[in-house]
A = this chain, B = another copy of it.
Amino acid sequence: MAATMHDVSRLAGVSVKTVSNVINDYPYVREETRRKVLDAIDTLGYSPNLSARSLRSGRTNVISLMIPDLRNAYFAELADSVMRAAAERGLAVLIEQFGDDRQHEIDVLRQPRARMVDGVLHSVLTLDQGDADLIAELSTPLVLLGDRSVNGTRDHVTMRNTEGARAATEHLIAGGRRRIVALGAHPGEEIGSAALRLDGYRQALDAAGIPFDGSLVVPVGTWLRRNGAEGMRDFLTAGTPFDGVVAFNDAIALGALRALQEAGLRVPEDVAVVGFDNVDETQYSMPTLSTIDPGREEIARTAVDLLIRRMEGSSEAFAPEEIAVPFRLVQRESSAG
């Protein structure tokens, strides 16, 4: 049985209140008393029961991070950034994965596990305006990450999807490419990253006076390497001429890189490629991958800070904020020349 505060107080010959004062760095404790208490804590190997503390204080100092899948490097790196930002502020992070399943995404939001965390960071995958009510009802402090707009009911940290994809496309156009594949479209979706990035792609074409060609828009299911490779292989089979690829994330870009080279095409000589996310791997692929850096660290820091504000919140004092973090084009070998 682990030692309790009472055990400590007994051994130190003081009251539990004094022990509590020492533990919580209450300043007005005589130095000698503090010593005695610390000694007692040490000899008993005491450490406070966090469940009891939480019950009493109403805070757990744990937040949860809900993401689709850690195996996706972007989310692993996001989780890393979030955990570092959280640790700096004394918070632990409980990660919950919901895969690419819409119902699961919703369930995880409603789950009672949320009653054990002070707040939730949710990286939106499929939620949309129709879920606004659900989201508004949740009593937990909540900050949304990612792309889908669930307008105005909650704080929301987004990346600049449209602008980023536009910059990626413009970069290829500036390099002389004219027939640019948009890889990763989700036909039928009108919101979400895929739609926003496709918008950016079209804007760039429009601005350059290049006509939009639907046959260059290649759908890809879940944004995984495998699907990027498959999507590109299918496209190659169709034989449509092209000289550039704007992939909607790095994973499918890397898959496409593989498929292009299998087909004997040289990157960037025959086909220039740009991705989106700037995951670590893009610095080491063959060739290295040009990409859009969405500002992951800043997204994480901003989100954690917003969440803390809500958690401490004189609650609904502030209107929900939507913060779009700046992006950056990172040029590497896959689009050189």
Contacts and interface: CB of A to CB of B under 8 A. Distances in A.
Chain A binding site: helix, strand, loop or mixed by DSSP? helix
Nearest to A286: B286
A62 interface: yes
A229 B281 CA distance: 12
Contact of A286 (B60, B62, B112, B261): B261
Interface residues of A, number: 48
A73 interface: yes
Given A47-B112, A50-B116, A55-B52, A280 B71 contact: yes
Interface stretch (A14-22, A77-85, A162-170, A238-246): A77-85
A115 interface: yes
A112 B284 contact: no
Contact of A60 (B51, B77, B79, B80): B51
Interface stretch (A92-100, A128-136, A200-208, A209-217): A92-100
A71 B80 contact: yes
B280 A281 contact: no
Nearest to A55: B51
A54 to B, nearest CB: 4
A143 interface: no
A83 B55 contact: no
A50 B64 CA distance: 14
Contacts of A70: 70, 76-77, 79-80, 83
A273 to B, nearest CB: 13
Interface string A40-81: 000001011111101100001010000001110100110110
Contacts of A49: 55, 115
A237 interface: no
Nearest to A110: B47
A255 interface: yes
21 contacts: A2-B115, A2-B139, A48-B115, A50-B112, A50-B116, A51-B60, A60-B116, A62-B116, A70-B83, A73-B73, A76-B76, A79-B95, A83-B97, A92-B116, A95-B95, A225-B281, A226-B283, A226-B284, A254-B284, A257-B286, A281-B281
